Structure 1
Amino acid sequence: MTAAPDAMPDAIRRAHAAFRAWLFDSALPVWGDVGCDGTAAAPALRGAQEHLAPDGTPARPGFKRMRVQARQLYAFTRAALYGWPGGAARAEGIYRFMLRGLRADGGWACRLTPDGAVLDPTADLYDLAFIIFALSWYARLDPSGEPVRLARRTVAWLRATMAHANGGFANTWPPASGPRQQNPHMHLLEAALALFDTTGDEADAALAHDLVDLFRTRLFDPATGTLGEFFTDSWQPVVGPQGALVEPGHQYEWVWLLHEYARLTGRPTGAHAQSLFAFGRRHGVDPRTALVRDVLTRQGDIVRGGARLWAQTEGLRAEIAMHGLPQAPPHADNADNTVQIARIVDNLLGRYFIDCPPGTWNDQLDPACRPAGDKIPASSFYHIVAGYAELDRLAGGSAGESAMRIA
């Protein structure tokens, strides 16, 4: 929901201004410089860095995951659409680097060497989701139509090669042992929605419809209002503690996705979004700090009480999605949403974006709210940019949206 700037509560206006200043004045210059791997003339000739060391220098681990390249392609594409002058050149460099991982059969390798040679040709569903997502966004900068053609080709390859008889898709191709996971399906829904939003072609919405049906019939537990993480081949929760795990960040991510699905397709999802949101608010947020917790059980017991950065930005997107909606739970009215939105941004700026090199972040806080971890992962930038984009939309911004439609 977008409101006129003069109707915005002061708390949200201040949060938006502070977040914007950090993103454009500190973060993008850093990640567009040391966060890219290239030369002065071609700043992303070899794509994006996998992660930075704690001192803010490139860590150079000897590999580059395709999911990280795709996430950074999205981040710089969105930055370019907002008018950041370095965004388009970096997005193009990362895009060209990613093409080195395109397999002859239409799939994509999951890991490249730092120079772009294929290191692991396995097709991973999580990576494929982000490739489709990033291509769909990059198409808004590139008028050639090639990114959309590649995105559609990847969707077709995924359906032909990795579709599972019981719904959804295999985790990898060739298949590997282990439980089925909701997480890559969640990101695949985000990718399908981005593709449909870019093209406006109803055929591109088909995958989104299928994945929302999978959520409703297999992933969502109506008895607890929760979303599981690990499943058997027939989409039953795996036996043991792993089958009872709930990640509040993913609950919130689905709240936003269901809201976005309803916005783009006109198909209602409010009841499911409300259930997920209510559980997250009741159990997934520390009332003292407003931090979104890492891992719970379906009953709301804390399994891992730290707080990852990405879960905060997904909490932000969910709060914004539910802002002002009549179906929101009574304890999540407009005023309360406004307070929570401001608290999340305050946490980002005052807990995650400090005590680290300027423009970077602490990716995780331990249960005592102390920074934990030994690296600065580039992968978190996608979450940060996506969270900011929703805050900007709420505050009345119009940039960073669909710049063009390519059928």
Structure 2
Amino acid sequence: MSLQGRRILDAPMRLMVQARQIYVYALAARRSWHDGAHVLVEQAYASMVRDFCHRDGRDGWAYSVMRDGTVADSTRDLYAHAFVLLAIASYVEVTGKSTALAIADETLAFLDANLVASQGGGYAETWPHRDGHRRQNPHMHLFEALLALWECSQQRRYLERAEELFVLLKSRFFQSGSGALIEYFDDGLRPAVGLDGTIVEPGHHYEWCWLLRRFEKATGRQEANALVNALYAHADRNGFDSEGLVIDEICADGTPKTQSRRLWPMTEAIKCNLVEGVRGRAGCLDKAAVLAGLLARRFLEPALQGTWIDRLDAEGRSSCDFVPASSLYHMIGAIDELRQVALDRVSD
């Protein structure tokens, strides 16, 4: 939407955003937040399959389409496919229609056939392949989707795939020397040459911590705890500006790199601190409360009601001229964790 709350109708519709919205609607249905949420889940899921899957006669899911149904970008993107899998898991969880898992299995088979990397493990970014860095981020969201598929189905094959990505996290993405999670890699999944190979996003540290606690619960693998401790410590020590907003990018040594501040790292820091606080990590519930207040004051209250500011520049001004729907996925997750802690406190 525009900053004035109007739809921007000439922008292509991205697969990733459609899938994230299904996740949002499904969570709203499960929590009884909206009477029509179940209908929205069914409608959004049906349109995602209709408009993106095999849309151009090829296997996999198109990256984006126009509103008339024509394909805007036929690239098969790992990041977007990860969210398709999360959307399917969300759909199954709320509807009970486990037949949709067949589409998840077909999607995973497509990834195995076309995007498995020739070096270093994991998956390539796109098919057809493009030059450029490989990233940890799509693998993180694939890890998230596989956990969700396991949770909605209890079918072991999804958890086994998540375990493979956990190994990749330990052996490739996480750098034990600095305690940091590197973002960009070469074709062999070694840290990229130069400054790019030192870039860290504190928001992803918090996101991984939240996911690793789910993984730990599902598998009982206690070695996840050491990774959480290291990732949390690095982000907590280096990831904030003087106002208390999460920094977009820093270097592995803790020096700031990018001066902008985005909404989504704030939500992931809230989620992580809530989960860690419930587990007994000192000070985390208070940190989550402070972060929630900052999120409201800096990103929500200055925007038109029902919308949000996605990014602030170095001077604290909005630097995005539209309201990206993709951010709702992050906000709804933070709201759900806040809700759970509030319910737990009431029951106590």
Specify the TM-score bucket, using the shorter chain as the normaliser. over 0.9
| Corresponding residue number in structure 1 for 2:39 | 89
CA pair 395-264 structure 1, distance change in 2 beyond 3 A: farther
SS in structure 2 of the partner of residue 299 of structure 1: coil
| Corresponding residue number in structure 2 for 1:381 | 328
TM-score, length of structure 2 as denominator length: 0.93
| Corresponding residue number in structure 1 for 2:123 | 169
1:225-240 superposed matches below 5 A: 225-240=179-194
**Equivalent of residue 178 in structure 2, options 195, 215, 224:** 224
d(CA) in 1 for partners of 2:59, 2:216 = 31
TM-score, length of structure 1 as denominator length: 0.80
Q: How far 1:127 moved relative to its partner?
A: 0.3
SS in structure 2 of the partner of residue 119 of structure 1: strand
**Equivalent of residue 263 in structure 2, options 309, 320, 328:** 309
1:117 aligns with 2:70: yes
1:138-164 Cα shifts (integer Å, max 9, x gaps): 112223323222112211221222111
1:282 aligns with 2:282: no
1:243-265 Cα shifts (integer Å, max 9, x gaps): 11111111111111111110122
SS in structure 2 of the partner of residue 377 of structure 1: coil
SS in structure 2 of the partner of residue 217 of structure 1: helix
SS in structure 1 of the partner of residue 237 of structure 2: helix
SS in structure 2 of the partner of residue 323 of structure 1: helix
Contact 2:278 2:285 in 1 (8 A): no
Structure 2: 5+ residue runs without aligned partners? Answer: none
**AA matched with 1:141:** V
RMSD: 1.5
Contact 2:246 2:266 in 1 (8 A): yes
| Corresponding residue number in structure 1 for 2:28 | 79
1:8-47 superposed matches below 5 A: none
1:121-132 superposed matches below 5 A: 121-132=74-85
d(CA) in 2 for partners of 1:367, 1:118 = 37
| Corresponding residue number in structure 2 for 1:150 | 103
SS in structure 2 of the partner of residue 59 of structure 1: coil
| Corresponding residue number in structure 2 for 1:203 | 157
1:266-302 Cα shifts (integer Å, max 9, x gaps): 112011111010010000023x432111110111111
SS in structure 2 of the partner of residue 296 of structure 1: strand
Structure 1: 5+ residue runs without aligned partners? Answer: 1-51, 398-407
d(CA) in 2 for partners of 1:197, 1:106 = 27
| Corresponding residue number in structure 2 for 1:404 | none
Q: How far 1:97 moved relative to its partner?
A: 1.3
| Corresponding residue number in structure 1 for 2:313 | 366
d(CA) in 2 for partners of 1:304, 1:62 = 27
Q: How far 1:362 moved relative to its partner?
A: 0.5
**Equivalent of residue 337 in structure 1, options 284, 299, 308:** 284
1:99-143 Cα shifts (integer Å, max 9, x gaps): 121115541111111133322221100000000001101112223
Contact 1:290 1:340 in 2 (8 A): no
Contact 2:249 2:256 in 1 (8 A): yes
**AA matched with 1:95:** Y
Percent of aligned pairs with the same amino acid: 35
Contact 2:91 2:97 in 1 (8 A): no
Q: Which has the higher contact order (CA 8 A, sep 6+)?
A: 1
Contact 2:12 2:64 in 1 (8 A): yes
Contact 1:192 1:204 in 2 (8 A): yes
